[in-house]
Chains A and B, each alone.
Chain A
Amino acid sequence: MFSSLFVFRGRASPMVEFAVSVAAAALVIALWELAARAGIIAPQFLPSPSRVVVALWTMLTEQNLVWHVAVSTARVWIAFLLAAIMAIPIGIMMSSYRIVGAALEPMIDFIRYLPVPALVPLSIIWFGVGEETKIFLLWLGTFFQLVLLVADDMRRVPQEFVEVARTVGANSRQVMTDVALRWMGPTLLDNLRITLGWCWTYLIIAEIVAADSGIGYVIWTARRFVKTPEVMAGVVVIGLIGLVTDQLLRLLHRRLFRYL
Protein backbone atom coordinates (compact mmCIF):
# COMPACT_ATOMS: atom_id res chain seq x y z
CA MET A 1 0.00 0.00 0.00
CA PHE A 2 2.71 2.47 1.03
CA SER A 3 5.15 1.42 -1.70
CA SER A 4 2.87 3.05 -4.28
CA LEU A 5 3.45 6.43 -2.57
CA PHE A 6 7.09 6.38 -3.60
CA VAL A 7 6.67 5.61 -7.28
CA PHE A 8 8.29 8.35 -9.39
CA ARG A 9 5.49 10.84 -10.15
CA GLY A 10 3.05 8.31 -8.74
CA ARG A 11 -0.38 9.44 -7.60
CA ALA A 12 -1.88 9.17 -4.14
CA SER A 13 -5.52 9.72 -3.25
CA PRO A 14 -6.40 13.32 -2.28
CA MET A 15 -7.21 12.11 1.26
CA VAL A 16 -3.75 10.55 1.65
CA GLU A 17 -2.09 13.70 0.29
CA PHE A 18 -4.09 15.87 2.70
CA ALA A 19 -3.21 13.58 5.62
CA VAL A 20 0.49 13.74 4.69
CA SER A 21 0.37 17.57 4.50
CA VAL A 22 -1.26 17.83 7.94
CA ALA A 23 1.09 15.24 9.45
CA ALA A 24 4.20 16.97 8.05
CA ALA A 25 3.08 20.35 9.44
CA ALA A 26 2.22 18.72 12.81
CA LEU A 27 5.64 17.08 12.93
CA VAL A 28 7.46 20.38 12.31
CA ILE A 29 5.36 22.11 14.99
CA ALA A 30 5.96 19.25 17.43
CA LEU A 31 9.74 19.37 16.89
CA TRP A 32 9.68 23.14 17.26
CA GLU A 33 7.71 22.84 20.54
CA LEU A 34 10.13 20.21 21.85
CA ALA A 35 13.18 22.29 20.89
CA ALA A 36 11.73 25.39 22.56
CA ARG A 37 10.70 23.58 25.75
CA ALA A 38 14.06 21.85 26.02
CA GLY A 39 15.62 25.31 26.07
CA ILE A 40 17.89 24.54 23.12
CA ILE A 41 17.20 28.04 21.78
CA ALA A 42 16.45 31.05 24.04
CA PRO A 43 12.68 31.92 24.01
CA GLN A 44 13.33 35.53 22.96
CA PHE A 45 14.74 34.10 19.71
CA LEU A 46 12.44 31.13 19.21
CA PRO A 47 9.35 30.97 21.42
CA SER A 48 7.41 27.73 21.45
CA PRO A 49 4.40 27.34 19.13
CA SER A 50 2.11 27.21 22.15
CA ARG A 51 3.35 30.65 23.26
CA VAL A 52 2.84 31.93 19.71
CA VAL A 53 -0.74 30.62 19.80
CA VAL A 54 -1.34 32.33 23.16
CA ALA A 55 0.11 35.56 21.75
CA LEU A 56 -2.10 35.24 18.68
CA TRP A 57 -5.19 34.78 20.88
CA THR A 58 -4.27 37.86 22.95
CA MET A 59 -3.73 39.90 19.78
CA LEU A 60 -7.10 38.76 18.45
CA THR A 61 -9.06 39.44 21.60
CA GLU A 62 -7.27 42.46 23.04
CA GLN A 63 -5.27 44.17 20.31
CA ASN A 64 -7.75 44.36 17.44
CA LEU A 65 -5.72 42.06 15.16
CA VAL A 66 -8.72 41.47 12.89
CA TRP A 67 -8.82 45.19 12.05
CA HIS A 68 -5.08 45.22 11.31
CA VAL A 69 -5.52 42.15 9.07
CA ALA A 70 -8.39 43.87 7.25
CA VAL A 71 -6.29 47.01 6.69
CA SER A 72 -3.35 45.02 5.35
CA THR A 73 -5.59 42.88 3.13
CA ALA A 74 -7.21 45.99 1.68
CA ARG A 75 -3.80 47.56 0.97
CA VAL A 76 -2.50 44.40 -0.70
CA TRP A 77 -5.61 43.91 -2.84
CA ILE A 78 -5.84 47.57 -3.90
CA ALA A 79 -2.16 47.57 -4.93
CA PHE A 80 -2.45 44.15 -6.56
CA LEU A 81 -5.59 44.99 -8.52
CA LEU A 82 -4.07 48.29 -9.66
CA ALA A 83 -0.96 46.42 -10.78
CA ALA A 84 -3.04 43.76 -12.56
CA ILE A 85 -5.33 46.27 -14.30
CA MET A 86 -2.29 48.10 -15.62
CA ALA A 87 0.03 45.15 -16.27
CA ILE A 88 -2.38 42.94 -18.24
CA PRO A 89 -3.08 45.37 -21.11
CA ILE A 90 0.49 46.70 -21.16
CA GLY A 91 1.94 43.15 -21.19
CA ILE A 92 -0.44 42.16 -23.98
CA MET A 93 0.47 45.25 -26.00
CA MET A 94 4.18 44.60 -25.51
CA SER A 95 3.87 41.17 -27.09
CA SER A 96 1.33 42.11 -29.72
CA TYR A 97 3.15 45.16 -31.08
CA ARG A 98 6.92 44.89 -31.35
CA ILE A 99 7.29 48.65 -31.22
CA VAL A 100 5.59 48.80 -27.78
CA GLY A 101 7.81 45.96 -26.58
CA ALA A 102 10.90 47.73 -27.89
CA ALA A 103 9.91 50.93 -26.09
CA LEU A 104 8.94 49.45 -22.74
CA GLU A 105 10.72 46.15 -22.14
CA PRO A 106 14.25 47.47 -21.41
CA MET A 107 12.89 50.05 -18.95
CA ILE A 108 10.67 47.55 -17.20
CA ASP A 109 13.50 45.04 -17.02
CA PHE A 110 15.68 47.72 -15.42
CA ILE A 111 13.11 48.82 -12.85
CA ARG A 112 12.11 45.28 -11.94
CA TYR A 113 15.61 44.59 -10.65
CA LEU A 114 15.57 47.60 -8.31
CA PRO A 115 14.97 46.44 -4.72
CA VAL A 116 11.72 47.86 -3.36
CA PRO A 117 13.29 48.96 -0.02
CA ALA A 118 15.73 51.13 -1.99
CA LEU A 119 12.78 53.10 -3.30
CA VAL A 120 11.20 53.81 0.10
CA PRO A 121 12.89 57.24 0.49
CA LEU A 122 11.84 58.26 -3.02
CA SER A 123 8.27 57.12 -2.48
CA ILE A 124 8.08 59.19 0.75
CA ILE A 125 9.36 62.25 -1.15
CA TRP A 126 6.78 61.64 -3.88
CA PHE A 127 3.75 60.56 -1.88
CA GLY A 128 4.40 61.50 1.74
CA VAL A 129 3.78 59.03 4.54
CA GLY A 130 0.09 58.30 3.92
CA GLU A 131 -1.68 55.37 2.29
CA GLU A 132 -0.37 56.31 -1.15
CA THR A 133 3.20 55.37 -0.26
CA LYS A 134 2.16 51.99 1.10
CA ILE A 135 0.05 51.20 -1.94
CA PHE A 136 2.81 52.47 -4.23
CA LEU A 137 5.45 50.24 -2.65
CA LEU A 138 3.20 47.17 -2.91
CA TRP A 139 2.32 48.08 -6.50
CA LEU A 140 5.99 48.55 -7.30
CA GLY A 141 6.86 45.05 -6.14
CA THR A 142 4.09 43.54 -8.26
CA PHE A 143 3.50 45.56 -11.42
CA PHE A 144 6.88 45.23 -13.13
CA GLN A 145 7.09 41.50 -12.50
CA LEU A 146 3.54 40.92 -13.68
CA VAL A 147 3.82 42.95 -16.86
CA LEU A 148 6.72 40.80 -18.08
CA LEU A 149 4.94 37.58 -17.11
CA VAL A 150 1.84 38.67 -19.05
CA ALA A 151 3.99 39.62 -22.05
CA ASP A 152 5.54 36.14 -21.96
CA ASP A 153 2.11 34.48 -21.71
CA MET A 154 0.99 36.39 -24.76
CA ARG A 155 4.12 35.42 -26.68
CA ARG A 156 3.37 31.76 -26.06
CA VAL A 157 -0.01 31.82 -27.84
CA PRO A 158 0.59 29.26 -30.61
CA GLN A 159 0.83 30.88 -34.02
CA GLU A 160 -1.23 27.99 -35.41
CA PHE A 161 -4.25 29.09 -33.35
CA VAL A 162 -3.87 32.67 -34.51
CA GLU A 163 -3.70 31.55 -38.12
CA VAL A 164 -6.65 29.17 -37.84
CA ALA A 165 -8.72 32.06 -36.47
CA ARG A 166 -7.60 34.37 -39.26
CA THR A 167 -8.47 31.81 -41.93
CA VAL A 168 -12.03 31.44 -40.60
CA GLY A 169 -12.50 35.18 -40.83
CA ALA A 170 -11.48 36.59 -37.43
CA ASN A 171 -10.16 40.16 -37.40
CA SER A 172 -7.33 41.27 -35.08
CA ARG A 173 -9.64 42.12 -32.19
CA GLN A 174 -11.44 38.77 -32.51
CA VAL A 175 -8.13 36.91 -32.63
CA MET A 176 -7.25 38.66 -29.38
CA THR A 177 -10.52 38.06 -27.54
CA ASP A 178 -11.54 34.67 -28.94
CA VAL A 179 -8.15 32.99 -29.15
CA ALA A 180 -5.23 34.74 -27.45
CA LEU A 181 -7.01 35.65 -24.21
CA ARG A 182 -8.70 32.25 -24.04
CA TRP A 183 -5.33 30.52 -24.48
CA MET A 184 -3.69 32.78 -21.90
CA GLY A 185 -6.43 32.37 -19.28
CA PRO A 186 -4.92 29.53 -17.22
CA THR A 187 -1.35 30.87 -17.16
CA LEU A 188 -2.59 34.40 -16.53
CA LEU A 189 -4.49 33.27 -13.45
CA ASP A 190 -1.42 31.30 -12.30
CA ASN A 191 0.75 34.38 -12.70
CA LEU A 192 -1.77 36.54 -10.85
CA ARG A 193 -1.75 34.00 -8.02
CA ILE A 194 2.05 34.05 -7.85
CA THR A 195 2.36 37.85 -7.98
CA LEU A 196 -0.34 38.26 -5.33
CA GLY A 197 1.95 36.18 -3.12
CA TRP A 198 4.83 38.52 -3.91
CA CYS A 199 2.65 41.50 -3.06
CA TRP A 200 2.17 40.08 0.46
CA THR A 201 5.93 39.67 0.83
CA TYR A 202 6.36 43.46 0.42
CA LEU A 203 3.77 44.20 3.10
CA ILE A 204 6.24 44.57 5.98
CA ILE A 205 8.34 47.03 3.99
CA ALA A 206 5.25 49.04 3.08
CA GLU A 207 3.88 49.06 6.62
CA ILE A 208 7.00 50.16 8.45
CA VAL A 209 6.80 53.52 6.70
CA ALA A 210 5.10 55.71 9.33
CA ALA A 211 2.22 53.26 9.65
CA ASP A 212 -0.17 53.01 12.57
CA SER A 213 -2.11 50.02 11.30
CA GLY A 214 -1.70 46.74 9.47
CA ILE A 215 0.01 43.45 10.21
CA GLY A 216 3.37 44.92 9.21
CA TYR A 217 2.93 47.67 11.77
CA VAL A 218 1.94 45.10 14.45
CA ILE A 219 5.01 42.97 13.70
CA TRP A 220 7.33 45.96 13.59
CA THR A 221 6.00 47.37 16.89
CA ALA A 222 6.29 43.98 18.61
CA ARG A 223 9.87 43.68 17.38
CA ARG A 224 10.76 46.99 19.00
CA PHE A 225 9.80 45.54 22.40
CA VAL A 226 11.34 42.11 21.61
CA LYS A 227 7.91 40.49 21.85
CA THR A 228 9.02 37.57 19.71
CA PRO A 229 5.80 35.51 20.15
CA GLU A 230 3.77 38.48 18.79
CA VAL A 231 6.24 38.90 15.92
CA MET A 232 5.89 35.23 15.04
CA ALA A 233 2.11 35.35 15.44
CA GLY A 234 2.02 38.21 12.90
CA VAL A 235 4.20 36.23 10.52
CA VAL A 236 1.98 33.17 10.94
CA VAL A 237 -1.10 35.27 10.16
CA ILE A 238 0.47 36.45 6.89
CA GLY A 239 1.34 32.84 6.05
CA LEU A 240 -2.20 31.68 6.79
CA ILE A 241 -3.75 34.44 4.67
CA GLY A 242 -1.37 33.47 1.86
CA LEU A 243 -2.28 29.80 2.20
CA VAL A 244 -6.03 30.43 2.16
CA THR A 245 -5.83 32.90 -0.76
CA ASP A 246 -3.67 30.51 -2.74
CA GLN A 247 -6.06 27.61 -2.18
CA LEU A 248 -9.06 29.74 -3.17
CA LEU A 249 -7.35 30.85 -6.37
CA ARG A 250 -6.39 27.26 -7.16
CA LEU A 251 -10.03 26.29 -6.69
CA LEU A 252 -11.08 29.12 -9.01
CA HIS A 253 -8.50 27.88 -11.56
CA ARG A 254 -9.95 24.38 -11.45
CA ARG A 255 -13.49 25.72 -11.82
CA LEU A 256 -12.71 28.09 -14.69
CA PHE A 257 -10.46 25.80 -16.68
CA ARG A 258 -12.12 22.41 -16.44
CA TYR A 259 -10.77 21.47 -19.87
CA LEU A 260 -7.18 21.22 -18.63
Chain B
Amino acid sequence: MTGYVQFVDTAKSFGPVNVVRKTSLGLERNSLVVFLGPSGCGKTTLMRMVGGLDEPSSGSILLGGEKVVRPDRRRGMVFQSYSSFPWLTVEKNIAFGMRYRKDLDATQKAERIGHYLDLFGLADFANSYPNRISGGMRQRVAIARTLAAGSDVLLMDEPFGALDALTRERLQVELRQIQIREEKTVIFVTHDVEEAVFLADRIILFSRRPASVVADIDVAAELGADRPLEIRETQKFFELRNKVLHLIRNETGVVV
Protein backbone atom coordinates (compact mmCIF):
# COMPACT_ATOMS: atom_id res chain seq x y z
CA MET B 1 0.00 0.00 0.00
CA THR B 2 1.30 3.44 -0.94
CA GLY B 3 0.06 6.98 -0.62
CA TYR B 4 0.64 10.25 1.20
CA VAL B 5 -2.09 9.45 3.72
CA GLN B 6 -2.10 5.81 4.79
CA PHE B 7 -4.54 3.94 6.98
CA VAL B 8 -2.66 0.89 8.28
CA ASP B 9 -5.06 -1.69 9.76
CA THR B 10 -6.85 1.24 11.35
CA ALA B 11 -9.85 0.39 13.52
CA LYS B 12 -11.85 2.40 16.02
CA SER B 13 -14.29 1.59 18.79
CA PHE B 14 -15.97 3.88 21.28
CA GLY B 15 -16.40 1.65 24.31
CA PRO B 16 -18.39 -1.38 23.18
CA VAL B 17 -19.43 0.29 19.90
CA ASN B 18 -17.32 -0.72 16.95
CA VAL B 19 -17.27 2.29 14.61
CA VAL B 20 -14.58 1.49 12.05
CA ARG B 21 -13.54 -2.03 11.02
CA LYS B 22 -9.87 -2.75 10.39
CA THR B 23 -9.12 -0.62 7.31
CA SER B 24 -6.06 -0.32 5.11
CA LEU B 25 -6.06 2.39 2.52
CA GLY B 26 -3.63 4.74 0.80
CA LEU B 27 -4.57 8.21 -0.50
CA GLU B 28 -2.46 9.99 -3.12
CA ARG B 29 -0.94 13.39 -2.49
CA ASN B 30 -2.68 16.38 -4.13
CA SER B 31 -5.84 14.44 -4.80
CA LEU B 32 -9.40 15.08 -3.67
CA VAL B 33 -10.77 11.96 -2.06
CA VAL B 34 -14.40 11.77 -1.03
CA PHE B 35 -15.49 9.51 1.82
CA LEU B 36 -19.03 8.57 0.94
CA GLY B 37 -21.40 6.50 3.01
CA PRO B 38 -24.62 6.52 4.97
CA SER B 39 -25.01 8.95 7.88
CA GLY B 40 -23.36 7.74 11.05
CA CYS B 41 -21.34 5.03 9.30
CA GLY B 42 -17.99 6.12 10.74
CA LYS B 43 -16.53 8.07 7.81
CA THR B 44 -16.17 11.23 9.89
CA THR B 45 -14.36 9.23 12.59
CA LEU B 46 -11.87 8.02 9.98
CA MET B 47 -11.27 11.59 8.88
CA ARG B 48 -10.92 12.82 12.48
CA MET B 49 -8.24 10.20 13.04
CA VAL B 50 -6.29 11.69 10.13
CA GLY B 51 -6.61 15.03 11.89
CA GLY B 52 -5.25 13.55 15.10
CA LEU B 53 -8.49 14.46 16.86
CA ASP B 54 -9.38 10.82 17.55
CA GLU B 55 -6.91 8.05 18.19
CA PRO B 56 -7.24 4.66 16.44
CA SER B 57 -8.12 1.79 18.79
CA SER B 58 -5.74 -0.35 16.75
CA GLY B 59 -3.50 0.18 13.75
CA SER B 60 -2.23 3.59 12.76
CA ILE B 61 -2.41 6.46 10.31
CA LEU B 62 0.63 7.73 8.48
CA LEU B 63 1.10 11.09 6.82
CA GLY B 64 4.08 11.14 4.48
CA GLY B 65 5.33 8.04 6.26
CA GLU B 66 5.11 9.70 9.70
CA LYS B 67 2.64 8.40 12.28
CA VAL B 68 -0.17 10.81 13.20
CA VAL B 69 -0.24 11.22 16.97
CA ARG B 70 -1.80 14.63 17.59
CA PRO B 71 -3.43 17.51 15.69
CA ASP B 72 -1.10 19.93 13.94
CA ARG B 73 -1.40 22.60 11.30
CA ARG B 74 -0.44 20.26 8.44
CA ARG B 75 -3.94 18.81 8.69
CA GLY B 76 -6.65 21.47 8.90
CA MET B 77 -10.32 20.88 9.61
CA VAL B 78 -13.30 22.59 7.98
CA PHE B 79 -16.65 21.90 9.62
CA GLN B 80 -20.22 22.43 8.48
CA SER B 81 -21.19 24.63 11.41
CA TYR B 82 -19.19 26.94 13.68
CA SER B 83 -16.70 27.26 10.85
CA SER B 84 -15.53 30.82 11.52
CA PHE B 85 -14.98 32.59 14.83
CA PRO B 86 -17.77 35.14 15.32
CA TRP B 87 -15.61 37.56 17.34
CA LEU B 88 -13.01 37.93 14.58
CA THR B 89 -13.37 39.80 11.31
CA VAL B 90 -12.91 37.91 8.05
CA GLU B 91 -9.29 39.09 7.86
CA LYS B 92 -8.55 38.11 11.46
CA ASN B 93 -10.24 34.75 11.01
CA ILE B 94 -7.84 34.02 8.16
CA ALA B 95 -4.94 35.37 10.23
CA PHE B 96 -5.94 32.99 13.05
CA GLY B 97 -4.63 30.14 10.90
CA MET B 98 -1.12 31.58 11.27
CA ARG B 99 -1.43 32.82 14.83
CA TYR B 100 0.88 30.17 16.25
CA ARG B 101 3.31 30.02 13.34
CA LYS B 102 6.75 31.21 14.37
CA ASP B 103 8.30 30.66 10.94
CA LEU B 104 6.53 33.64 9.34
CA ASP B 105 7.14 37.30 10.14
CA ALA B 106 4.39 39.94 10.18
CA THR B 107 5.00 40.95 6.53
CA GLN B 108 4.80 37.37 5.31
CA LYS B 109 1.63 36.83 7.28
CA ALA B 110 0.06 39.99 5.85
CA GLU B 111 0.99 38.85 2.32
CA ARG B 112 -0.62 35.46 2.87
CA ILE B 113 -3.77 37.05 4.26
CA GLY B 114 -3.95 39.31 1.20
CA HIS B 115 -3.41 36.33 -1.10
CA TYR B 116 -6.24 34.29 0.42
CA LEU B 117 -8.60 37.26 0.67
CA ASP B 118 -8.14 37.72 -3.08
CA LEU B 119 -8.23 34.01 -3.91
CA PHE B 120 -11.58 33.56 -2.19
CA GLY B 121 -13.08 36.89 -3.30
CA LEU B 122 -13.25 38.13 0.29
CA ALA B 123 -11.19 41.32 -0.02
CA ASP B 124 -14.25 43.59 0.13
CA PHE B 125 -15.39 41.90 3.34
CA ALA B 126 -12.02 41.84 5.10
CA ASN B 127 -13.30 43.93 8.00
CA SER B 128 -16.74 42.34 8.25
CA TYR B 129 -17.71 40.02 11.08
CA PRO B 130 -19.05 36.56 10.13
CA ASN B 131 -22.62 37.47 11.11
CA ARG B 132 -22.59 40.10 8.35
CA ILE B 133 -21.63 37.72 5.53
CA SER B 134 -23.43 34.81 3.86
CA GLY B 135 -23.08 31.14 4.82
CA GLY B 136 -21.09 30.49 1.64
CA MET B 137 -18.62 33.25 2.49
CA ARG B 138 -18.23 31.91 6.01
CA GLN B 139 -17.20 28.55 4.55
CA ARG B 140 -14.74 30.33 2.22
CA VAL B 141 -13.27 32.04 5.28
CA ALA B 142 -12.86 28.67 6.99
CA ILE B 143 -11.11 27.14 3.97
CA ALA B 144 -8.91 30.23 3.58
CA ARG B 145 -7.94 30.05 7.27
CA THR B 146 -6.94 26.40 6.90
CA LEU B 147 -4.85 27.13 3.80
CA ALA B 148 -3.26 30.15 5.48
CA ALA B 149 -2.24 27.87 8.34
CA GLY B 150 -0.18 25.98 5.76
CA SER B 151 -2.15 22.75 5.87
CA ASP B 152 -1.09 20.11 3.35
CA VAL B 153 -4.23 18.13 3.98
CA LEU B 154 -7.70 19.64 4.21
CA LEU B 155 -10.18 17.58 6.18
CA MET B 156 -13.67 18.71 5.27
CA ASP B 157 -16.65 17.38 7.18
CA GLU B 158 -19.74 18.05 5.05
CA PRO B 159 -18.64 21.68 4.77
CA PHE B 160 -21.32 22.65 2.26
CA GLY B 161 -24.14 20.68 3.87
CA ALA B 162 -25.99 23.72 5.23
CA LEU B 163 -25.76 25.86 2.08
CA ASP B 164 -28.37 26.51 -0.58
CA ALA B 165 -28.03 24.58 -3.85
CA LEU B 166 -26.57 27.42 -5.94
CA THR B 167 -23.99 28.51 -3.38
CA ARG B 168 -23.08 24.90 -2.84
CA GLU B 169 -22.47 24.37 -6.56
CA ARG B 170 -20.30 27.46 -6.76
CA LEU B 171 -18.22 26.45 -3.79
CA GLN B 172 -17.75 22.96 -5.19
CA VAL B 173 -16.34 24.44 -8.40
CA GLU B 174 -14.10 26.80 -6.42
CA LEU B 175 -12.87 24.02 -4.16
CA ARG B 176 -11.86 21.89 -7.14
CA GLN B 177 -9.97 24.80 -8.72
CA ILE B 178 -8.25 25.82 -5.51
CA GLN B 179 -7.30 22.27 -4.59
CA ILE B 180 -5.54 21.89 -7.95
CA ARG B 181 -3.97 25.36 -7.93
CA GLU B 182 -2.71 25.17 -4.33
CA GLU B 183 -1.73 21.49 -4.69
CA LYS B 184 -3.54 20.24 -1.61
CA THR B 185 -4.72 16.84 -0.53
CA VAL B 186 -8.38 16.96 0.43
CA ILE B 187 -10.45 14.40 2.30
CA PHE B 188 -14.05 15.39 1.89
CA VAL B 189 -16.82 13.68 3.84
CA THR B 190 -20.33 13.75 2.43
CA HIS B 191 -23.40 11.59 1.97
CA ASP B 192 -24.46 13.48 -1.14
CA VAL B 193 -23.73 11.29 -4.19
CA GLU B 194 -23.88 14.09 -6.75
CA GLU B 195 -21.47 16.22 -4.71
CA ALA B 196 -19.15 13.25 -4.32
CA VAL B 197 -19.04 12.50 -8.05
CA PHE B 198 -18.57 16.13 -9.03
CA LEU B 199 -15.74 16.79 -6.55
CA ALA B 200 -13.82 13.56 -6.30
CA ASP B 201 -10.72 12.27 -7.96
CA ARG B 202 -11.56 9.14 -6.07
CA ILE B 203 -14.57 8.01 -4.03
CA ILE B 204 -14.17 5.61 -1.15
CA LEU B 205 -17.56 4.12 -0.42
CA PHE B 206 -18.14 2.89 3.12
CA SER B 207 -20.61 0.38 4.50
CA ARG B 208 -22.99 1.04 7.34
CA ARG B 209 -21.41 1.14 10.81
CA PRO B 210 -18.92 -0.29 11.52
CA ALA B 211 -17.42 1.36 8.46
CA SER B 212 -15.48 -0.74 6.01
CA VAL B 213 -14.52 0.04 2.43
CA VAL B 214 -17.06 -1.46 0.03
CA ALA B 215 -15.92 0.26 -3.17
CA ASP B 216 -13.04 2.39 -4.40
CA ILE B 217 -14.05 4.37 -7.48
CA ASP B 218 -11.54 6.18 -9.67
CA VAL B 219 -13.63 9.19 -10.72
CA ALA B 220 -10.70 11.08 -12.28
CA ALA B 221 -10.23 8.25 -14.78
CA GLU B 222 -13.84 8.70 -15.91
CA LEU B 223 -14.34 12.47 -15.71
CA GLY B 224 -10.80 13.88 -15.86
CA ALA B 225 -9.37 16.54 -13.56
CA ASP B 226 -11.14 19.55 -15.03
CA ARG B 227 -14.69 19.88 -13.69
CA PRO B 228 -16.67 22.71 -15.18
CA LEU B 229 -20.21 23.02 -13.85
CA GLU B 230 -21.57 21.73 -17.18
CA ILE B 231 -20.03 18.34 -16.56
CA ARG B 232 -23.05 17.60 -14.35
CA GLU B 233 -25.21 17.52 -17.47
CA THR B 234 -23.07 15.03 -19.39
CA GLN B 235 -23.93 11.40 -20.01
CA LYS B 236 -20.69 10.29 -18.34
CA PHE B 237 -21.57 12.13 -15.14
CA PHE B 238 -25.09 10.62 -15.05
CA GLU B 239 -23.73 7.15 -15.63
CA LEU B 240 -21.13 7.50 -12.91
CA ARG B 241 -23.63 8.96 -10.47
CA ASN B 242 -26.04 6.10 -11.18
CA LYS B 243 -23.24 3.58 -10.77
CA VAL B 244 -22.37 5.02 -7.34
CA LEU B 245 -26.03 5.10 -6.33
CA HIS B 246 -26.41 1.50 -7.43
CA LEU B 247 -23.33 0.51 -5.44
CA ILE B 248 -24.68 2.23 -2.34
CA ARG B 249 -28.00 0.41 -2.65
CA ASN B 250 -26.36 -2.94 -3.25
CA GLU B 251 -23.41 -2.72 -0.94
CA THR B 252 -24.79 -0.80 1.99
CA GLY B 253 -28.45 -1.68 1.80
CA VAL B 254 -29.27 1.99 2.05
CA VAL B 255 -31.76 3.67 -0.25
CA VAL B 256 -30.46 7.17 -0.96
Q: Using CB atoms and an 8 Å cutoff, list the residues of chain A in contact with chain B.
A: 158, 160-161, 163-170, 174, 178-179, 182-183, 185, 257-260
Q: Assuming the A-B contacts A167-B75, A169-B72, are A259 and B97 also in contact, with contact meaning beta carbons closer than 8 angstroms in the complex?
A: no
Residues from chain B with a CB closer than 8 A to the CB of A259 are 86-87, 129-131
Q: Assuming the A-B contacts A169-B149, A259-B87, are A164 and B77 also in contact, with contact meaning beta carbons closer than 8 angstroms in the complex?
A: yes
Confirm or deny: B112 has a beta carbon within 8 angstroms of a beta carbon on chain A.
no
Confirm or deny: B83 has a beta carbon within 8 angstroms of a beta carbon on chain A.
yes
CA distance A170 to B149 in the complex (A): 11
Residues from chain B with a CB closer than 8 A to the CB of A260 are 86, 131
CA distance A163 to B48 in the complex (A): 10
Residue of A nearest to B89 (CB): A259
Residues from chain A with a CB closer than 8 A to the CB of B87 are 182-183, 185, 257, 259
Confirm or deny: B81 has a beta carbon within 8 angstroms of a beta carbon on chain A.
yes
CA distance A167 to B75 in the complex (A): 7
Task: Provide the main secondary structure of the chain A interface.
Answer: helix
Q: Assuming the A-B contacts A161-B85, A164-B77, A259-B87, are A169 and B101 also in contact, with contact meaning beta carbons closer than 8 angstroms in the complex?
A: yes
Q: Are B79 and A164 in contact (CB under 8 A)?
A: yes
Q: What are the interface flags for B188-217 relative to A under an 8 Å C-beta threshold, 1 for contact and 0 otherwise?
A: 000000000000000000000000000000
Residues from chain A with a CB closer than 8 A to the CB of B72 are 167, 169
Q: Assuming the A-B contacts A259-B87, A260-B131, are A168 and B76 also in contact, with contact meaning beta carbons closer than 8 angstroms in the complex?
A: yes
Q: Are A167 and B83 in contact (CB under 8 A)?
A: no
Confirm or deny: B53 has a beta carbon within 8 angstroms of a beta carbon on chain A.
yes
- Top 8 nearest A-B pairs by Cβ distance? A169-B100, A160-B82, A259-B129, A158-B82, A166-B71, A160-B79, A168-B149, A167-B71
Residue of A168, A178, A179 near B145 (CB, 8 A) is A168
CA distance A161 to B85 in the complex (A): 7
Q: Are B131 and A182 in contact (CB under 8 A)?
A: no
Residues from chain B with a CB closer than 8 A to the CB of A166 are 53, 71
Rounded to whole Å, the gap between the CB of B38 and the closest CB of chain A is 22
Confirm or deny: B170 has a beta carbon within 8 angstroms of a beta carbon on chain A.
no
Residue of B nearest to A258 (CB): B129
Residues from chain A with a CB closer than 8 A to the CB of B71 are 163, 166-167
Residue of B81, B86, B97 near A168 (CB, 8 A) is B97
Rounded to whole Å, the gap between the CB of B250 and the closest CB of chain A is 34
Confirm or deny: B125 has a beta carbon within 8 angstroms of a beta carbon on chain A.
no
Rounded to whole Å, the gap between the CB of B32 and the closest CB of chain A is 19
Residue of A nearest to B70 (CB): A166
Confirm or deny: B237 has a beta carbon within 8 angstroms of a beta carbon on chain A.
no
CA distance A185 to B86 in the complex (A): 12
Interface residues of B in 146-183 (CB under 8 A from A): 146, 149, 151
Q: Are B51 and A163 in contact (CB under 8 A)?
A: yes
Confirm or deny: B96 has a beta carbon within 8 angstroms of a beta carbon on chain A.
yes
Task: Please list 8 pairs of residues, one from A and one from B, whose beta carbons are closer than 8 Å in the complex, sorted by A's number.
Answer: A160-B79, A161-B82, A163-B71, A167-B72, A167-B77, A168-B96, A170-B99, A170-B100
B53, B85, B98: most-surrounded residue (chain A CB, <10 A) = B85
Interface residues of B in 46-81 (CB under 8 A from A): 51-53, 71-73, 75-77, 79, 81
CA distance A259 to B151 in the complex (A): 28
Residues from chain A with a CB closer than 8 A to the CB of B86 are 259-260
Residue of A161, A178, A182, A183 near B99 (CB, 8 A) is A178
Residue of A nearest to B128 (CB): A259
Q: Assuming the A-B contacts A158-B82, A185-B87, A259-B87, are A167 and B99 also in contact, with contact meaning beta carbons closer than 8 angstroms in the complex?
A: no
CA distance A166 to B53 in the complex (A): 9
Rounded to whole Å, the gap between the CB of B85 and the closest CB of chain A is 7
Residues from chain B with a CB closer than 8 A to the CB of A165 are 96
Rounded to whole Å, the gap between the CB of B49 and the closest CB of chain A is 13
Q: What are the interface flags for B126-141 relative to A under an 8 Å C-beta threshold, 1 for contact and 0 otherwise?
A: 0001110000000000
Residue of B nearest to A168 (CB): B149
Q: Are B85 and A167 in contact (CB under 8 A)?
A: no
Residue of B nearest to A170 (CB): B100
CA distance A185 to B81 in the complex (A): 20
CA distance A174 to B83 in the complex (A): 18
Residues from chain B with a CB closer than 8 A to the CB of A257 are 87
CA distance A160 to B84 in the complex (A): 10
Q: Are B85 and A168 in contact (CB under 8 A)?
A: no
Rounded to whole Å, the gap between the CB of A174 and the closest CB of chain B is 7
Q: Are B100 and A174 in contact (CB under 8 A)?
A: yes
Q: Are A163 and B53 in contact (CB under 8 A)?
A: yes
Rounded to whole Å, the gap between the CB of A157 and the closest CB of chain B is 10
Rounded to whole Å, the gap between the CB of A251 and the closest CB of chain B is 19
Rounded to whole Å, the gap between the CB of B87 and the closest CB of chain A is 5
